[in-house]
Amino acid sequence: MEALPKALEVDEKSPESKDLLPSQTASSLCISSRSESVWTEAPRSNWEIYRKPIIIMSVGGAILLFGVAITCLAYTLTLSIMSLKVLKMIGPAFLSLGLMMMVCGLVWVPIIKKKQKQRQKSMFFQSIRSFFLNR
């Protein structure tokens, strides 16, 4: 076994010693590069899968409606000049922010669907590979 430099020598009892020691085999490197939970994970419900895009779209819709309300108030109410300027700047800003969040959520859904299909294909090919290798 190759001797470690003095700078890398660490007490064997410390938790840092495990991080600093080099890996001995290529298979341990492959195992550490992938998360085990990805391959042994139980099927998730639709809510767990699409929770984040739904929340992003809902918040984006709320911000969009708030921007619509502020913009409508800015053009229908008779307020002081300073208040009108502020409302006319803030209203469209909320409109654009809400629309951007809604679009991000809407685009996120097809990305998740594509990843789910790839994961199913990957698990299928992995099962075929293990079938032929275990003969």
Residues 72-91: tens digit of each pLDDT: 988 888 888 888 888 889 99
Is residue 56 within 8 A of residue 101, CB to CB? The reply is yes
- Residue 13 inside a domain? The answer is no
Q: Does residue 87 lie within any of the structural domains?
A: yes
pLDDT, averaged in runs of 10, over the chain (135 residues) = 52 51 49 48 79 94 95 87 89 95 94 87 76 71
Is the residue at 77 inside a domain? Answer: yes
| Domain assignment present for 59 | yes
Q: Is residue 11 packed enough to be buried (19+ CB in 10 Å), middle (13-18) or exposed (0-12)?
A: exposed
Task: Show the domain range for 95.
Answer: 48-116
Residues with Cβ within 8 Å of residue 59, at least 6 apart in sequence: 101
Which residues are CB-neighbours of 93 under 8 A, at least 6 positions away?
A: 67
pLDDT score at 39: 53
pTM of the model: 0.59
Residue 55 in domain = yes
Q: What is the pLDDT of residue 121?
A: 79
Q: Quick check: is 57 in a domain?
A: yes
**Number of compact structural domains in the chain:** 1
Residue type, 122: S
End-to-end CA distance of the chain: 35
Which residue shows structure tokens 């913009």?
71
Distance CA 85, CA 39 (A): 56
